[in-house]
Amino acid sequence: MSTVRSDDSNQVVPMLECSGITMSFGGIPVLRGITFSLEPGTVTALAGENGAGKSTLMKIASGQYRPIDGSVQVRGQDLVSGNTQAAYELGVAIVPQELASIPEMMVYENLFIGREVKTRLGTLDRAAMVKAAKGYLKEFGLDTDPKTRMRELPVGIRQIIEIIKATHRGARVLLLDEPTSAIAEREVARLATIVRSLRDQGVAILFTTHKMEEIRAMADRVVVLRDGTLVSDTPLADISDDGIVTAMIGRELDQLFPERPDAGNDVVLEVKDLVITVGATPINITVRKGEILGLAGLVGAGRTELIECIYGIRKPHSGTVTLSGSVLKAGSPQDSIARNLAIVPEDRKGAGAILSMSILDNATLPRIAAFSRFGVLSRRKQRSAISEVMKSMRLKSSGLDQHLENLSGGNQQKVVFGRWLTGQVDALLLDEPTRGVDVGARSEIYRIITELSSAGMAVVMASSDMPEILSLSHRALIMRELGVVGELDREQLDSPDVQDTIFRLASGLRAEPLKDTTP
């Protein structure tokens, strides 16, 4: 492990210094003794897989969380933990993953919120603010009208406006949490330009990512977290891509993912000429018994939409879905459930779990008819079936009557998953099955997925997590612009340059022709 600082170089006072940061949630350690520092005029990538502890570390560095142990210093001054205002005054600004702008207000209003320019009469000097805002935007290469409403702008622009807001208030340390997770390709390039120009002005920048291209495009140095431990802190020039990936995933890749049993031959799920919306390419998919089909692609490629169309939450423009020989009624989740199709949606809190209800009630809902007679529930039937399933999921709870809002993300996901398993499931649709799930629960979810597929279930799994696609699926489809643009079989998934291939397909750069793109 090496650091950029060496003792004989000119001593630079670090902008931000974290020493021995330790953190845990509900007794589960998330960060273990993290020490690193940010120098002025540098860009550091904080890399690591989902659940490695990146966001938690960001929140500690910006004063939002109080660590159990360790300290944060900004330009030699102690940061009072748990006090965002103090961090802000010391010049630390964070641009969170979920942007904090006010969508109904105009761009210049967002920029000046809390430090509005006033006229001598004490009223708002809108003209002055608009003019100043225009200047700020131009500095960052944006010709957006400052009088545009925030919600009308794409996420990428909104993010840049957040960055402008932070730096024009004198931020010397800029923390960007997953800045590229929701923005389009060309916006990433613009973001990179802006990050570099801020670096040249002496700002210390730390951004989280788990994507290799972004590290290469923006960072001078890369700090890698794995399972809450700092495993590498290296100047970018001294480490190879493989080195970063190995540091991120470690040798745990083999342990994290269980062995993959062979798929069967009978087709269980068939999607025929499905067009998501007018103008999209028709999609044809077959999934066999016991097969795990991965769906890869960038944000907005249509993975979630495809899964919603198959399940019936969304009505496709045209096309059919056939499950075990019978055609599903479009736009009818009830019909899908009755024909043994199950789904674990992407947005757990918004679409999966009902947080105000108990584990028992959540798990009862999809198969409610099996637990009732003439509309009256049998508590005994509910309890015996559900407690058995939850035991097999290794759910950690104080009992089936515990409300979901009191469970961790991983355990909520186990409930959203396990509620289907009280009955027969022929095909299972998973959308980002491990998003926001800690590493321990992830490996259990992988184990469950593999067990279910080996028991004969056909699985479709959309994921942004590359190792998940590469290690779990028998076959993977790559989506772009609401269509399928490529298919990779197991052999191709094992080839060393597969990540590059998937990225090219997903982003539309098809420099290398693919062997076989049609099913």
Residue 328 found at the interface with other proteins (CB under 8 A): no
Site string for other proteins, 20-39 (x = CB under 8 A): ----x-xxxx----------
In 3D, which of 420, 427, 486, 494 has the Cα closest to residue 455? 427
Q: How far is the CB of 349 from other proteins (least distance, A)?
A: 8
- The correct pick among 128, 236, 253, 351 for binding other proteins (CB under 8 A) is 351
By CB under 8 A, tell whether 355 contacts other proteins.
Answer: yes
Stretch that binds other proteins, among 11-19, 371-379, 446-454, 491-499 (CB under 8 A): 371-379
Q: Give the one residue of 114, 122, 279, 350 binding other proteins; rule: CB under 8 A.
A: 350
Q: Residue 365 has which token pair?
A: 């809902």
If binding means CB under 8 A, how many residues of this protein chain bind other proteins?
34
**Phi, psi (degrees; rounded to nearest 5) at 31:** -135, 135
Task: Decide: is 370 part of the binding site for other proteins (CB under 8 A).
Answer: no
Residue 377 in contact with other proteins, rule: CB under 8 A:
yes
Measure the CA–CA gap between 519 and 516, rounded to whole angstroms: 8
Question: Least distance to other proteins from the beta carbon of 178, Å?
Answer: 24
Q: In the set 313, 329, 340, 481, which binds other proteins (CB under 8 A)?
A: 313
Binding of other proteins at residue 380 (CB under 8 A)?
Answer: no
Choose among 136, 213, 189, 212: nearest CA to 167: 136
| Nearer CB in complex with other proteins: 83/334 | 334
Nearest distance in Å: CB 335, other proteins = 9
- How far is 1 from 359, CA to CA, in rounded Å? 45
Q: Does 331 bind other proteins (CB under 8 A)?
A: no
Nearer to other proteins, 184 or 377 (CB): 377
- The answer to the question of residue 294 lying near other proteins (CB under 8 A) is no
CB of 399 to other proteins, least distance (A): 9
Query: Between residues 99 and 377, which has the closer beta carbon with respect to other proteins?
Result: 377
CA distance 155 to 151: 9
Nearer to other proteins, 113 or 365 (CB): 365
* Contact with other proteins (CB under 8 A) among 155, 184, 354, 498: 354
**Could you say which of 100, 189, 369, 455 contacts other proteins (CB under 8 A)?**
369
Site for other proteins (CB under 8 A): which residue of 114, 375, 496, 513? Answer: 375
- Using the rule CB under 8 A, is 398 a contact of other proteins? yes
- The C-alpha atoms of residue 381 and residue 370 are separated, in whole angstroms, by 8
Nearer to other proteins, 48 or 366 (CB): 366
Give the shortest CB-381-to-other proteins separation in angstroms. Answer: 12
- Residues 395, 411: contact at Cβ < 8 Å? yes
Q: How many residues does the chain have?
A: 519
How big is the chain by its Cα radius of gyration, in Å? 25
Selected binder of other proteins within 36, 136, 311, 417 (CB under 8 A): 311
CA–CA dist 430, 270 (Å, integer): 16
Tokens of 142: 């944006």
String of contacts with other proteins for each residue 400-439, x by CB under 8 A:
------x------------x--------------------
> Would you give the DSSP letter of residue 513?
P
For the CB of residue 435, give the shortest distance to other proteins in the complex, in Å: 16
- CB closer to other proteins, 22 vs 246: 22
Residue 391 DSSP code: H
| Cβ 336 to other proteins shortest distance, Å | 8
Q: H/E element holding 17?
A: strand 16-25
* Choice between 232 and 364, CB closer to other proteins: 364
DSSP lists the bridge partners of residue 29 as 24
Residue of 345, 410, 418, 433 that binds other proteins (CB under 8 A): 345
| Angstrom distance (rounded) from CA 488 to CA 480 | 15
Determine the Cα–Cα distance for residues 385 and 87; give it in Å rounded to an integer.
50
| Closest-CA residue to 480 (of 325, 357, 306, 290) | 306
d(CA 107, CA 37): 33
Place of tokens 């500690």: 60
**Of the candidates 290, 352, 410, 418, which one interacts with other proteins according to CB under 8 A?**
352
Among candidate residues 426, 384, 382, 433, the one with its CA nearest the CA of residue 412? 433
- What the block records as the tokens of 140 is 């960052």
The answer for 82, left when phi > 0, alpha when psi is -120 to 50, beta otherwise, is left
CA proximity to 60, closest of 19, 115, 3 = 19
Q: What residues make contact with other proteins under the rule CB under 8 A? A: 24, 26-29, 311, 313, 333-334, 337, 343, 345, 350-357, 361, 364-366, 368-369, 372, 375-377, 379, 398, 406, 419
